Amino acid sequence: MKSETSKLHKQQSSDDIECGLITLSDSRKSEKLDLSGKYIAEEIESRYTLKSRKLIPDEPKDLTDAIDDMISEGIDVILTNGGTGLDERDITVETVEALFEKKIDGFGELFRAKSFEEIGSAALLSRATAGVYKKTIIFSMPGSPNAVKTALGLIIDELPHFVHHVKK
């Protein structure tokens, strides 16, 4: 059930949102091979504006540079996929959380709960996270196509609401 306040905030929100997409991968070398990124791009473009898309290796400096570039372009929401696992090269969570001025704990919690319904206790391996950095919302999700579909299902309709709160 939605609250009256949430409904009001949604009415005051704009769908004119500019998004950026960053795929972190040491193995995918082209956007053609980036199935999760392709899915995210298509979903964003069906509702909002995808202003920037980058495919980068799992390197902290590459990630922070990509984020800062997108923020300087005026992007409202950055979606990252990949690099949230437990492998030594998975650096997304540590990198973005060090930037966050505010963390959106509910995203990771809800993502893991929904994932648990879908895949069972393997959901514990996910370190999906979200937060705010320089008035830009960053959602970091795992790189698998199923995880991306789950994550987007939770947030895509709420992006105007998130942006409304962060930009005011």
- Phi then psi for residue 80, to 5 deg, are -110, 150
Average pLDDT, the chain: 92
pLDDT, residue 33, reads 75
DSSP-assigned letters across all residues of 114-148: HHHHHHGGGGGG---EEEEETTEEEEEE-SSHHHH
pLDDT, residue 4, reads 74
Pairing mode, if any, of strands 136-141 and 129-133?
Answer: antiparallel
Task: Tell me how far apart the alpha carbons of residues 91 and 83 are, in angstroms, rounded to a whole number.
Answer: 6
Residue with tokens 């996929």: 81
pLDDT value at 12 more than 70: no
Four-way CATH pick for 16-167: 3.40.640.10, 3.90.550.10, 3.40.980.10, 3.90.1150.10? 3.40.980.10
